[in-house]
Structure 1
Amino acid sequence: MHIHLGLSQPLTNFCALTIGNFDGVHLGHQMMIEQVVTQARARHLDSVVMTFEPHPKDFFAPQFSQPRLTSLREKIELIEAVNVDHVVILRFNHDLANTSAEEFVNRILNQQLHTRYLLVGDDFRFGAKRQGDFAYLATRSKESGFICESMNSHKVGQERVSSSAIREALQHGLLDTARKLLGRPFFISGRVAFGKQLGRTIGYPTANIPLGRRIPPLQGIFAVTVEGLNKESLKGVASLGTRPSVESNHEPWLEVHLFNFNETIYGQRIHVNFYHKIRDEAEFTTLDALIKQIDSDAEQAKAYFTSHTL
């Protein structure tokens, strides 16, 4: 898969395209991308997914920024898994925000991407002041020589699949609901960094992943599995949050204790799947109280995996 940071050069082949933020690459997103790949193959076109960084909502109102379900890297990896030919990442800035719907079609869809098939969601809006919609695209597509289709929102049961619904489920600890809407467990990937070594001194060594400026959509203690270290996934218990018993700078960290595992893995990139919330974060004033709680957390995580088939 080819990754394009911007469109400094036009694509060389005609394409089948879908456009969106694709935060989480949930079941609805997957269906859209799969349809674009299918249409591209049937029409002998390249398949292209266009997305934006940062999220337009973060650009217009950063003070109300919502937690993202996937980092940009995670989003790209999930899109790649659907066998897309190209991902185009447009930087959402003042220039793009002020691009009219007409210019977006003329310059980006026609001149730079050579679009011949376009699939968008039923609520898709684009262009300065969100002036463009599916009706506008349908009209312009006839003039520009591409086919334009829309896809209705996907539902699981009676629930509409959306990034907001998944975010809300995660914030309320409803990991089963989030998993159904995503089509997989919610996960966070990152590189293992050196920590304060406190876990090792109390019998619970942890793989520590600093999240930097990323705000996770959930916090607490969880039963998790980890991929990327062995051929099979490893089970464990994880703390995700600001570590109130250890730190005071409020920066989020993901700390994972793996059961029956004691290898040195600093610098390795791991993929942590969240299956069950055990409790919220809490601050402990004594080390003994912390150890007692971690003992209980680990036992609850093991009990979850014993009673549930993954």
Structure 2
Amino acid sequence: MQYINESKTIHLNQLGGYGKMQQRIIKDHRELFQSDYDIAACIGYFDGVHLGHQKLINKTIAVAKEKGLKSALITFDPDPWTVIHNKNKVNHITPIKEKMRLIASLGIDELIIVQFNKEVSKLEPQVFIEQILIPLRVSDLIVGEDFKFGFKGAGNVAYLQEHAAIFFHTHVLTFKEQDDKKIGTTLISQAILKGDFDRANEMLGRAYTLSGYVKQGNREGTRIGFPTANLDVVDEYVLPPKGVYAGYVEVKGEKHKSVLNIGHNPTFNHSKELSIETHILDYNDIIYGELLKQSFVYRIRDEIEFPSVEALIKQMEEDVKIALEVLK
């Protein structure tokens, strides 16, 4: 058989940061050759790379340094949930490129991406251990207390401790609780969908951010003195509800305060499709085609259809004042 798995080094400047991280793509777990070095690894889908995930990653790095191993993060693509439930499009807090950037920024040596398909979803726990974890030469596996793996989630922490102890040591972490609920991707998604960025950002450990390229718009904002960058967001992000938000936008490596609108521009009645537009404060450069990273800090108000352009301008002036107060 031909070995079709891939390995390459990802430089963080390609992902909006600095440093480098080795990336290994496992396209076919059946052809996974024995690795030539031991690793300390955490494992999971890691959507959001939230504070709980960061705890796992930091522990993995610490164990690796203590034992003289490479640190690794094992994840899956596409999202196992979408494969198991036959879903084509599911929005995520961190689509794969954003997730890679965040993981690399935390200092992991190697990102291992296992291509997830129906066959992988049906692997019994012991087969998963023998065909994936052992060939990867996992010496120490770092997991959360609710970690499950294998067909229908039959494998768990107790299974690892009983059946995998001769192959590797399993470290089990508990997660901090907030308001009697664990930090989790579902809770963060729910907070984003409500526009509750106090809660979402607290659990993420950073401001929620999406990326998109600036595309040509109708220039209505420019004509009324509030030029906006219209974002073409290709990745499937979890989007907040329609409305106006205060946040920060990174453009050409620099961070600026901004007021963002998500909606249909009802006053001008120009947008049948949902539009995402950001008014960058104190910034006038032409940036068509540039990649912007827009963060969300505070929900200012709902999207409103105004009786006149003058009423809209007056409200936008008030929006900017609120944003400056929030972001100061």
Could you tell me the TM-score, scaled by structure 1's length?
A: 0.88
The answer to whether residue 206 in structure 2 is matched with residue 184 in structure 1 is: yes
* Partners of 1:214 and 1:155 in 2: CA distance: 28
Alignment length (residue pairs) = 301
Map 1:1-310; keep pairs closer than 5 Å. Answer: 1-7=21-27, 10=33, 11-61=35-85, 67-111=91-135, 113-143=136-166, 145-156=167-178, 158-212=180-234, 214-219=236-241, 220-229=243-252, 231=254, 233-241=255-263, 243=265, 245-248=269-272, 250=273, 252-284=274-306, 287-306=309-328
Q: CA deviation at 1:260?
A: 1.1
Q: Is 1:211–1:253's contact at 8 Å kept on the other side of the alignment?
A: no
Displacement of 1:62: 5.4
Q: In structure 2, how many angstroms separate the alpha carbons of the residues matched to 1:109 and 1:243?
A: 51
In structure 2, list runs of 5 or more residues that go unmatched.
Answer: 1-20
In structure 1, the residue corresponding to 2:149 is in which secondary structure? coil
Q: CA deviation at 1:206?
A: 1.4
| Pairwise CA distance, 1:283 | 4.2
- The answer on whether the counterparts of 2:40 and 2:139 sit within 8 Å (CA) in structure 1 is yes
The amino acid of 1:17's aligned partner reads: A
Could you say if the C-alpha distance between residues 12 and 66 of structure 1 is closer, same or farther in structure 2, counting changes exceeding 3 Å? same
**Is the CA contact 1:16–1:39 (under 8 Å) kept in the aligned structure 2?**
yes
Which amino acid is the alignment partner of residue 283 of structure 2?
A: F
- TM-superposed deviation, 1:79: 0.6
**Is residue 192–residue 238 contact of structure 2 (8 Å, CA) maintained in 1?**
no
CA contact (8 A) 2:183 2:203 kept: yes
Give the superposition deviation at 1:242.
Answer: 5.0
Matched-pair contact (CA < 8 Å) for 2:213–2:233: no
Please provide the CA RMSD for this pair. Answer: 2.3
Amino acid of the structure 1 residue aligned with 2:141: L
More divergent stretch after superposition (197-206 vs 55-64): 55-64
CA offset at residue 292 of structure 1? 3.9
Asked if the contact 2:76/2:113 (under 8 Å) is kept, the reply is yes
What per-residue deviation string (whole Å, max 9, x for no partner) do you get for residues 237-259 of structure 1?
001345554321x3x44311011
Query: Which amino acid is 1:300 matched to?
Result: I
Change (3 A) 1:94 1:260: same
Q: Which amino acid aligns with 2:150?
A: G
Q: Give the structure 1 partner of residue 16 of structure 2.
A: none
Structure 1 residue 61: Cα displacement = 3.1
1:51, 1:89 within 8 Å by CA — same for their partners in 2? yes
Which whole-Å deviations, capped at 9, do the CAs of 1:226-274 have from their partners, x for residues lacking one?
Answer: 124354x2111001345554321x3x44311011110012222222121
What do the CA deviations read for 1:51-87 (whole angstroms, capped 9, x no partner)?
1222222223356976411111111111111110111
Q: 1:59 to 1:182 in 2, by over 3 A?
A: same
Normalization by structure 2: what TM-score? 0.83
Deviation at 1:140, TM superposition (A): 2.3
Identical positions, percent: 31
Q: Which amino acid aligns with 1:23?
A: D
Using the alignment, how far apart are the partners of 1:73 and 1:64 within structure 2?
18
Q: What SS is found at the alignment partner of 2:297?
A: strand
Shift of 1:189: 2.0
Q: Within 1, Cα distance between the matches of 2:153 and 2:180?
A: 29
Q: Which moved more, 1:197-206 or 1:153-162?
A: 153-162
| Structure 1 residues without counterparts, runs of 5 or longer | none
**Residue type of the alignment partner of 2:232:** P
Aligned mates of 1:122, 1:286 — CA distance in 2: 56
